[in-house]
Structure 1
Amino acid sequence: MTAGTAGPAEQLVPTDQGPGRVRVFPAPSPVGTLLLGHGAGGRRDTPDVLALTSLADHGWTVVLVDQPWRVAGRRVATAPPRLDAAWLQILGALSEDRGPGLDPLPRPWVLGGRSAGARVACRTAALDDGTPRPGVAAVICVAFPLHPPGRPDRTRAPELAGPVRAGLPTLVVQGSADPFGRPEEVVAAVTDPRLTVVPVPGTHSATRDLPALTGAVRRLLATLPPDPEDAPR
């Protein structure tokens, strides 16, 4: 099945913090998988994240990951270390046998997310020794929160620099008036040719230019080599 037809396949994934949920939008002829985490707000999905499920029509299976706190119906996100731990447990489960009727997720894997989900992807894309997590080929950030509004001194640039320094191509699609960090701030914070910053209209809310978002992500995905030998762990 494809996005927009029979709908995504849903699966609960156990973690130490309770079950997370994945919704899989399979590509008919997959060349890889894009795994996306959500933000810390109350909405389950935002239009920009949902727009990226259309990439299933372009060869990329898309997986939307719901953190355990959201599955449990809580309104406040858990602390970053717990977000990372749950995310990694979900990735680990998805790299194994997914059960009857569920095909293995195609490789390579690209980690991504919106806002807080982008931070999680950046923090977990590389191992502790600074090398890429096996099987992960790139990172995609939608509305990366570089700093709290009005507090550029509290920068999260080291998080964004993590996958870049590990050699992973990293894309940031950022609202031109985002109070959490405008595109030019992101460019100045991490100066590396492996980081691509694409400005789009808007603030930290979902961009009004969804074709620009999906186009930027498609361009990055098109540069990635096929199927590395190791699966994410």
Structure 2
Amino acid sequence: MTRNRELYFEAFHVEIRFMGYLFRVIFQLWQQYSNDFLYLCAKFPSMSKPNITDSIWTKYQSIVEENKNRRKQKGDWNEDEADELIYDPNCENDLDEEGNRISFPWQYSNLLSARWVQDLFGVDWRAVQKLMSVNDGDLVFVDDVLYYREQHVIYVLDILQTLAKSTIVNVLRPIPQVIKEIDEPIYTSKDMMRILNVKETTLSKLRANFELGYTKFGDKIVYTHKDLMDFVFNPKYRNEAV
């Protein structure tokens, strides 16, 4: 009986020593390869998703849908258009010097497709496009599709809201005139050149090619709001503006 007890305790001590040795080996391996392990884990897709609740994608979706429907009517739409809002996959793999995953603000990691941004601004896209000239860091290509970081789109919207309240913009904005023979506001050639950002020769060419409607009163040429909208929503014009 005593002999069996001695054998039992001896086996128990051997097992304890083996477990201790195994633990030390595992700990040493973890110290040596932990950074590589974390890096590999970061390579696998995570469950990170864009912030939809706070995104302007949700706030302005009704405006975008309205402009998208206009595109559909013009034949400038297809079912294979890219996802409008995604999470930047590059944010999944960014690690700090210690190998920890970097946490980005959602405004940075949220990506809005260029097509969605164009639909957001609609007929104003040609003018707003100049404000959308951004640093390379705010432009992201995912599967050959161009996206804007949401933080930059928000920044541009803030600029537009500020300018809308400024005196200088109200001074520079072309004010439609009214002619008795026409039941809607009209613009002069000077107004149209400013709105479309074109020269007089280009404006004349657009009229000659019947791409831009107009009305002539004697020597005076005027353009209705409908003439302007028909031209802006022309698929050919929109493709050139993109």
TM-score above 0.5, yes or no: no
Q: Is the strand fraction higher in 1 or 2?
A: 1
TM-score if structure 1 supplies the norm length? 0.28
Q: Is the helix fraction higher in 1 or 2?
A: 2
Taking CA–CA contacts closer than 8 Å with sequence separation of 6 or more, which of the two structures ends up with the larger relative contact order? Answer: 1
Rg comparison, structure with higher value: 2
TM-score if structure 2 supplies the norm length? 0.27
